[in-house]
Homo-oligomer: A and B are copies of this chain.
Amino acid sequence: MSANVPTDICFSFTGLMQRGGRTGPHADGWGVVFYEGKGYRLFRDAAPSAESDLARLLRDLPIKSCTVISHIRKATRGKITLENTHPFVREMWGRSWCFAHNGHLKRVKRWPLDLYRPVGTTDSEHAFCWLLNALRRRFSKPPRAATFWRYVHQLALELSALGTFNFLLSDGRHLGAFCSTHLTWLTRQAPFGEAELVDEDLRVDFSLHTQPTDVVTVVATRPLTRNEVWTTMAAGSMVVFAEGRPWLQFGGS
């Protein structure tokens, strides 16, 4: 989620968590990062989200944030442990960078690493470390955002040649979403209407919970609601969201 005002994710999270073992097979752990300024709150659990006490608690806790990344895991590489649970976080240039991946990259663990190294054994964390290493090698200090994200897109294309590499990356200001096979997004803004979850019998009327100037984008592997129009991303494309709106686009048609 990317938003222009601190927004809670209770509604979307309720739907997503069902996919972690109930309406979907991603039962091998879950995690969520809420940015708050330059800081972040990180919650992770190796238990299925549909059965997790912590997930149930968060579902009802209206933590407000302008940038949230949440992930449910289906283990393809790496055991079901806390250190293999997304999102992964690293500091680069004095910002906390957060990464979550859907897919699998064959043999990425043979790609050499330097400054950043994985703590767990997933292909995902290895790819994240490789990405950060490449960024630090290219830029000795933070470049302009557009330059930065253009290079992230190039690196993402390189990595995605190894397999499936849908991912989200953020430093809390921008949210980059790279589509390798499946990624879709939706911007909610005035006039707000009603939305209905796909995975749970729940509706919300956003007009009752929003201000007319609020803008919120939700990105997901598959649409979370059944009665709204989601934009499907093209394979190989990346959208960078800022303050709730799509801001930069690379690749695709």
Report A21-61 residues with CB < 8 Å from chain B CB. Answer: 36-44, 46, 53, 57, 61
**A118 closest partner in B (C-beta):** B94
The answer to whether B82 touches A37, judged by C-beta atoms less than 8 angstroms apart, is yes
Expressed in whole angstroms, the minimum distance between the Cβ of A63 and any Cβ of chain B is 9
Report A70-98 residues with CB < 8 Å from chain B CB. Answer: 81-85, 89-91, 93-96
Residues of B within 8 A of A208 (CB): none
Residues of B within 8 A of A96 (CB): 83, 119
Report A81-127 residues with CB < 8 Å from chain B CB. Answer: 81-85, 89-91, 93-96, 115-120
A37-B115 Cα distance, complex, nearest whole Å: 22
Interface code A151-181, partner B: CB below 8 Å = 1, 0 otherwise?
Answer: 0000000000000000000000000000000
Residues of B within 8 A of A39 (CB): 44, 46, 81-85, 119-120
Interface size on A, residues (CB 8 A): 31
**A40 closest partner in B (C-beta):** B82
A83-B120 Cα distance, complex, nearest whole Å: 24
Expressed in whole angstroms, the minimum distance between the Cβ of A90 and any Cβ of chain B is 6
A76-B44 Cα distance, complex, nearest whole Å: 31
Q: Which of B41, B57, B95, B115 contacts A82 (CB 8 A)?
A: B41
A81-B41 Cα distance, complex, nearest whole Å: 12
Given A57-B57, A115-B115, is A82 in contact with B120 using a C-beta cutoff of 8 Å?
no
Expressed in whole angstroms, the minimum distance between the Cβ of A139 and any Cβ of chain B is 14
Expressed in whole angstroms, the minimum distance between the Cβ of A111 and any Cβ of chain B is 15
A57-B117 Cα distance, complex, nearest whole Å: 33
The answer to whether A41 touches B44, judged by C-beta atoms less than 8 angstroms apart, is yes
Residues of B within 8 A of A38 (CB): 81, 83, 119-120
A96-B84 Cα distance, complex, nearest whole Å: 13
Given A81-B37, A82-B39, is A95 in contact with B115 using a C-beta cutoff of 8 Å?
no
Cβ contacts A to B, 7 pairs, < 8 Å: A36-B82, A37-B83, A38-B83, A39-B46, A41-B43, A57-B57, A93-B117
Q: A41-B43, A90-B91, A91-B116 are in contact. List 7 more A-B contacts (CB 8 A).
A: A38-B81, A38-B119, A39-B82, A39-B83, A39-B85, A42-B42, A93-B117
